[in-house]
Amino acid sequence: MPSQPSSPMAFPPPGFSKRKSAIALPPQSTAVSYLTALQQADAKARSNSASSAATVSTLSTPALSTSSSMSSSSSSATTVLDDDPYDPKHDGDDGLSRPAVPPTSEQVFSTIHSEFGHCGNQTYRHTSKYSGGAFDPANSHEPPYYILLSTYISYIFLIVIGHMRDYFGKKLRSANYKHLMPSNGYAALNSDFDSFYTRRLKARMDDCFSRPVTGVPGRTIALLDRTSSDYNATFDYSGTRTRALNVSSYNYLGFAQARGGCADAVEESIKRYGISACGARLEGGSTDLHLQAEALVARFVGQEDALITSMGYATNSTTIPALASKGCLIISDEFNHASIRFGVRLSGASVRMFKHNDVQDLEALLREVISQGQPRTHRPWKKILLIVEGLYSMEGSLVNLPAIIELKRKYKFYLYVDEAHSIGAMGPHGRGVIDYFGVNPRDIDIMMGTFTKSFGASGGYISGSTALISRLRLCSHAGPYCESMTPSVLTQIVASMASIMGVSPPLPPASPLATPTRSLDVAIVEKSFIGPAPAAALPTWLSLPPQLRDGSEGKERLRRLAFNARYLSRALVKLGFITYGHDDSPIIPLLIFNPGKMCLFSRMMLERKTPIVVVVVAYPATPLVTSRVRFCLSAAHTKDDVDVLLKACDEIGDVLDLKHGDGERWTLEEVMRRATELVRMP
Amino acid sequence: MADAAAATSTTDPLSAVLYQSLDVVQRTFNAIPGSAVLVRYVKSSHQNDPYRTILEVILIIFAIRTLLQSRTRAEKSGKNFIKLEEKEIDDLVDEWIPEPLVAPLDDTSRTELASVPVIAGASGPKPKLVNGKTVVNLASYNFAGLAGNESIKEKAMDTLRKYGLGSCGPPGFYGTLDVHVQLERDIASFLGTESAIIYSQGFSTICSVIPAFCKRGDIIVADRGVNFAIQKGIQISRSTVRWYDHNDPNSLEEVLESVAKEMKKKRLPLTRRFIVTEGIFQNDGAMVDLPKLIKLKLKHKYRLILDESFSFGVVGRTGRGLTELYNVPAAQIDILVGSMANGLCSAGGFCAGANVVVDHQRINGTSFVYSASMPALLAVSASAGIEMLVSTPSLLTTLHENVLAVRSVLDKLDCITIPSHPASAIIHIFIRSSATGSTLSPSYVPTFSGVSSSANAAHKPSNPTSVLSRDPEQFDIAAEERLLQDVVEEALAQGVLITRAKRLRGQEAVEPRPSIRLAITAGLTRKEVEKAAGVVKSALIKVLGKRRY
């Protein structure tokens, strides 16, 4: 797009029809026409909201922010603005609805700022790629002893007080403990021991968990305000909403959008396909769209074939039992996700764990298990399956894939990589850890991933050789028994994935009709598996706007995410915090340690002038002492957003005494000023 | 001991220091309140029985050693561990040849895969297949005919424009949308329970609900014919399982009594006890006698986990499921599980029950906690589906009429048996055993209709600890599947899409008998359904008839 060199995210002004031309832009795409169009839309929206009396006490809020520009889709201006009545703090002084710096005449953004931030500065970009050299097994700073000690004392306090409350509560107010005590010949539904943690520790900070939200989980999110008058036993909803900066959703590439090319495609698919595919894959729930999406996924990850399951959790839990059984051994990283553990337990295979990301420990274990064979009988194992994750969601650490592939050559195990968080989010082309480390995808036997995160959809996939996937279609639990993926979700996957890959121009008309069969060409001819999606592989009715179709926006998103991830993790360290994980990971856990500080951190973040929603995690999701807050960055965030977050962390960190990291420290101003330098550092 | 130490204090300066420090230790020890008692106890016990002191010291050393030994190293030091040289290990590593990851596809599997029907475009009562042929659909789950409903689609598109598609997070971490909360309320008020919780996939719902409540040591009494998801949930739960004969209340009662006897005999403590069964069985379409079941569970003080995946949205005047059909308050069922994917043509599953039941799952239901919540537009579609069921009872009336119409065509056929309940919208068709002509098949014809155990009463009851019944039916899986596949293809050639019930052979607890599984829909008129059933009938006669002896 030569007329708009500033940003591939730039977009023609309202009224431009995407279907007519992909290249020639009308010359009047100036700031004047842009603003005029916006003003008109604003006026229209005002009159609309004024006329509809049904809106909930929001008439005072002007419906449009300067930047809520339209996408070129068929939707009219007013529908975009329907989001805003939810938003009491609309004025934009919090920087959530409107960027601090208004766009220049060259920059016309296609996204809504509150969903996908406007960031035109091309220096705030980076490429996610492994720099080579020795693999750092993720930083592990130890906190001072007084922090550890006070953490343990906090837990002891909580436990002792909890047990006292239970003891006296059962005696004095037995009605509240009915479900925990045997009654009327029934045993207690939940044992009070099992639920102790939930009742006595988690309940104290329940206001920080499961906060209900509404609208798009994009760059910002609208919280439903709630208060509790009975210590979090119940919540009262005031009916108001708070818009907050969202650094919690797994929206790595910012595809959680209600507007734009992907959403338009999904709408079209609902018209064409309806809501559901009505059945399991093997029993009349397969549509042509499933096959097209699977072929595209296989091409995306560089494998022969792929299988899509309607739920990410079930992708692991229904596939692993089809791969291993009694007499097989599964070696699992100690921090693997619950779905993997569930699948492993269902499989009936033996399990051994190795220390998180520790290749030496893994090798020692491999030597032991192969030489010893099965327990008692010492028969050799039928096969050994190593299951690791690409990016660990609680640690932010990346798997040491090159070293594991090296081990695989020697020890002949099968390798299963769960790329739930890394697919789309890592690597220069968004192909996950494979791409990040530049390894050959065919070195991995089974590649699993989910669409919930980077693609803004849901469900998951398994990818591998044709023989493997065909077998799994028949043998995984999902084939005959799980509902198949719904067409709308499939469309979101296809559209977002195609816009990361870019679409190669359509073949000449002599090409065979786009009949969606399994013989769809998924073979990889070039040396590298990375390339654009062939136009023939997409549904014929799918029409993506030009900036999605040529892959420029996809690349832009990847580069923005890479910058944000690196900037935040390095900046936090410079500010003195203890973080876990690798610099390039979009998941950044910040260590808090004391359980009491956790809920304080979450509440203080929410109460700021620009509210921020964060995820705090503690035992049992993490080891007892290392409670943490977990930031998930997105391509939708701007550099300003990261600055806002850093400022909040800096201030709260001082109040809560969280800065215990070692190494050189910078001031907040210095960090913000030298952001690009910080990111470019090796 | 103190006196002895003082008396022997002599010349050596080193020993003087030693004795001095010992003295300090002793004094401090004596200063601790109650220490005198301990000293006196040790002294007197040593006096009475010197060997005991030695034994106790050994015991203490052993206890310390056990405590220090980490769990993970136990295997290495175990007597089963063979210590090998590095060189030997290298050789063993080199020699080890693993089995292939999966068995290569054989011809049967290849044919099986190739025969999976693929719909081009929207699924519905009359979809188009990828080969361009338009067929009448008796295979997909579209019971109330909600697939392709325009008003639901409209609502879904509106939702898309407000929420986007994915929820991008698990329910605990900002994945709980107001539409999810609304759907939970809708389900709870539709069924009449205190509350409900939604999961993002039907299959994973019961898999997760069972282990959330049933723990090691608890007792599960389950039907031998439960579906695969329940089997997996039971397997994960590690509870003690007792099985009763498929859909046989008498057998259930016997098992409940035997459990009670066993508990009494062994004086086991009171544990949670559950009856797990399905409303309409996925594997054969039989229906439980709910009032009887509730009577038994109340009598024996069990909790009931009922999977209504194939009855919710299907039976009852407005599709509330078995509770509506039998006019039983849903609150009587402790844990009620259903599927919005099957019953409401949307996605996901739910679990309804009392507040304590539901809230417990919000932190203990693994596939709820660890999975992203379902897309907003699917939740809204499900809510809209419930609204349709309530506002348009004619949908369900049509469905029930269509089911009756199909049954009246197929019931008369003598080359098949239909184990399904007359009200079930999934209809399984078994080959009547003599029709296969297999020598394996005895003349025994299974009769699943309701209480049928009078014939079996003479037999000794099956062993409740084993999932296999005492006299399982005999059938030749491969032969029957081949025949049924011929029927499916014959029907498809005549323009009716039906499917065999697909199974995970080798992974099921009990191999279900091969069958054709029809799914009746309200999206077709009575005439169309009758015609389609006629096609199925003639296909059955054509394929099975000519093979009869």
A442 against A620, higher pLDDT? A442
- Is the CB of residue A595 less than 8 Å from the CB of residue A605? no
Q: Which two tokens stand for residue A542?
A: 């799918």
> B400 and B383 share a domain?
no
Residues B92, A278: C-beta atoms closer than 8 Å: no
> B179 and B297 share a domain?
yes
Residue among B298, B225, B200 at smallest CA distance from B468:
B225
pLDDT band of A57, cuts 50, 70, 90? very low
At A238, give phi and psi (nearest 5°): -80, -15
State the average pLDDT over residues A185-210: 86
State the average pLDDT over residues A330-347: 94
pLDDT computed for residue A674 by the predictor: 93
Residues A217, B164: C-beta atoms closer than 8 Å: yes
User: Domain tally for chain B?
Assistant: 3
Pairing of strands B499-500, B516-519: antiparallel
Pick from A160-174, B295-309, B439-453 the range whose average pLDDT is largest: B295-309
Residues of chain B in contact with residue A255, where contact means CB-CB under 8 angstroms, are 166
Task: List strands edge to edge, sheet with B219-223.
Answer: B195-199, B349-353, B335-339, B303-307, B273-278, B219-223, B240-244
Domain-located, residue B86: no
Helix (H, G, I), strand (E, B) or coil at A616: strand
- Is the CB of residue A581 less than 8 Å from the CB of residue A138? yes
The pLDDT tens digits for A550-573 are: 899 999 999 999 999 999 999 999
State the average pLDDT over residues A644-655: 95
> B428 and B523 share a domain?
yes
Give CA–CA dist B479/B481, Å, rounded: 5
Helix (H, G, I), strand (E, B) or coil at A612: strand
State the CATH architecture for A279-504+529-544.
3-Layer(aba) Sandwich (3.40)
* Residue B507 contacts A, CB cutoff 8 Å: yes
Give CA–CA dist A428/A127, Å, rounded: 6
pLDDT band of B70, cuts 50, 70, 90? low
Chain B interface, mutation test: which of A305, A336, A394, A458, most B Cβ atoms within 10 Å? Answer: A458
Residues of chain A in contact with residue B87, where contact means CB-CB under 8 angstroms, are none
pLDDT of residue A327 exceeding 60: yes
Q: Is the dihedral of CA B126, B127, B128, B130 positive or negative?
A: negative
* Low-confidence winner among A180-184, A307-311, B137-141, B233-237 (lowest mean pLDDT): A180-184
Work out the burial of residue A375: count CB atoms within 10 Å of its CB; fewer than 13 is exposed, 13-18 middle, 19 or more buried.
middle
Give CA–CA dist B235/B216, Å, rounded: 11
Give CA–CA dist B111/A421, Å, rounded: 36
What range does the domain containing B6 cover? 2-76
Give CA–CA dist B275/B267, Å, rounded: 21
- What is chain A's percent helix, strand, coil content, to nearest 5? 40, 15, 50
> B198 and B296 share a domain?
yes
Q: What is chain B's mean pLDDT, rounded?
A: 88
Residues A276, B89: C-beta atoms closer than 8 Å: no
Residue among B262, B204, B256, B212 at smallest CA distance from B230:
B204
Give CA–CA dist A315/A318, Å, rounded: 6
Residue at B518: amino acid letter: L
State the average pLDDT over residues B54-59: 87
pLDDT of residue A170 exceeding 90: no
> What letter would DSSP give residue A308?
E
The pLDDT tens digits for B235-286 are: 999 999 999 999 999 999 999 999 999 999 998 888 999 999 999 999 999 9
pLDDT computed for residue A84 by the predictor: 47
pLDDT computed for residue B35 by the predictor: 79
Cis-peptide into A620, omega within 30 deg: yes
Neighbour count for residue A111 (Cβ, 10 Å): 23
- Is the CB of residue A332 less than 8 Å from the CB of residue A352? yes
State the average pLDDT over residues B120-144: 93
Residue A179: its H or E element: none
pLDDT band of A483, cuts 50, 70, 90? very high
A624 against B200, higher pLDDT? B200
- Is the CB of residue B515 less than 8 Å from the CB of residue B484? yes
Task: Return the CATH number at B456.
Answer: 3.90.1150.10
The pLDDT tens digits for B30-41 are: 887 777 887 887
pLDDT computed for residue A277 by the predictor: 92
> B426 and B340 share a domain?
no
State the average pLDDT over residues A616-638: 90
pLDDT of residue A60 exceeding 70: no
> B201 and B285 share a domain?
yes
Helices B35-48 and B50-68 pack at an angle, to 10 degrees, of 120
Residues A266, B499: C-beta atoms closer than 8 Å: no
State the average pLDDT over residues A431-447: 94
Q: How many residues does chain B have?
A: 549
Helix (H, G, I), strand (E, B) or coil at A298: helix
Which chain A residue shows the shortest CA-CA distance from B73?
A: A365
Q: How many residues does chain A have?
A: 682
- Is the CB of residue B142 less than 8 Å from the CB of residue B132? no
Residues B121, A272: C-beta atoms closer than 8 Å: yes
pLDDT computed for residue B169 by the predictor: 92
Half-sphere exposure of residue A381, counting CA atoms within 13 Å on the CB side? 30
State the average pLDDT over residues A640-659: 94
Residues B362, A210: C-beta atoms closer than 8 Å: yes
Give CA–CA dist B483/A7, Å, rounded: 62
The pLDDT tens digits for B456-470 are: 445 577 888 888 888
pLDDT computed for residue B27 by the predictor: 83
Residues of chain B in contact with residue A279, where contact means CB-CB under 8 angstroms, are 123, 139-141, 519
> B338 and B406 share a domain?
no
Residue among A680, A321, A630 at smallest CA distance from B174:
A630
pLDDT of residue A8 exceeding 50: no
pLDDT of residue B165 exceeding 90: yes
> B140 and B178 share a domain?
no
**B308 min Cα distance to partner chain A (Å):** 15
A165 against A91, higher pLDDT? A165
Backbone angle region of B11, left / alpha / beta, with phi > 0 → left and psi within -120 to 50 → alpha: alpha
Residues of chain B in contact with residue A383, where contact means CB-CB under 8 angstroms, are 98-101
Domain-located, residue B102: no
The pLDDT tens digits for A142-160 are: 788 899 999 999 999 999 9
* Cα angle value B58/B60/B65 (rounded, 5°): 95
pLDDT computed for residue A15 by the predictor: 37
* Low-confidence winner among A340-344, A516-520, A617-621, B298-302 (lowest mean pLDDT): A516-520
Distances (CA, A) of B173 to A198, A238, A613, A641, B177: 16, 21, 10, 20, 11
State the average pLDDT over residues A486-515: 79
Give CA–CA dist B184/B182, Å, rounded: 5
> B124 and B31 share a domain?
no
Give CA–CA dist B269/B544, Å, rounded: 55
pLDDT of residue A431 exceeding 80: yes
Residues of chain B in contact with residue A445, where contact means CB-CB under 8 angstroms, are 101
- Is the CB of residue A1 less than 8 Å from the CB of residue A26? no
Pairing of strands A446-450, A460-464: antiparallel
At A384, give phi and psi (nearest 5°): -120, 130
> What letter would DSSP give residue B100?
P
**B172 min Cα distance to partner chain A (Å):** 4
Distances (CA, A) of A97 to A63, A85, A88, A489, B217: 11, 13, 11, 28, 55
pLDDT computed for residue B434 by the predictor: 64
- Is the CB of residue B276 less than 8 Å from the CB of residue B236? no
Domain-located, residue B378: yes
> B254 and B287 share a domain?
yes
pLDDT computed for residue A661 by the predictor: 87
- Is the CB of residue B164 less than 8 Å from the CB of residue A456? yes
Distances (CA, A) of A125 to A7, A121, A501, A559, A561: 11, 8, 18, 5, 8
pLDDT computed for residue B11 by the predictor: 59
Residues A345, B236: C-beta atoms closer than 8 Å: yes
Domain-located, residue B524: yes
> B134 and B154 share a domain?
no
From-to residues of CATH 3.40.640.10 in chain A: 279-504+529-544
Neighbour count for residue B452 (Cβ, 10 Å): 16
pLDDT of residue B219 exceeding 50: yes
pLDDT of residue A53 exceeding 90: no
Q: What is chain A's mean pLDDT, rounded?
A: 83
Residues B89, A370: C-beta atoms closer than 8 Å: yes
Of B333, B358, B390, the residue that ends a domain is B390
pLDDT band of B63, cuts 50, 70, 90? confident
Domain-located, residue B99: no
Of B57, B76, B95, the residue that ends a domain is B76
Task: Return the CATH number at B168.
Answer: 3.40.640.10
> What letter would DSSP give residue A285?
-
Write out residues 381-400 of A within 8 Å (CB-CB) of B.
381-385
Domain-located, residue B100: no
Percent of chain A with pLDDT over 90: 61
Of B333, B368, B390, the residue that ends a domain is B390
Residues of chain B in contact with residue A115, where contact means CB-CB under 8 angstroms, are 164
Give CA–CA dist A486/A518, Å, rounded: 19
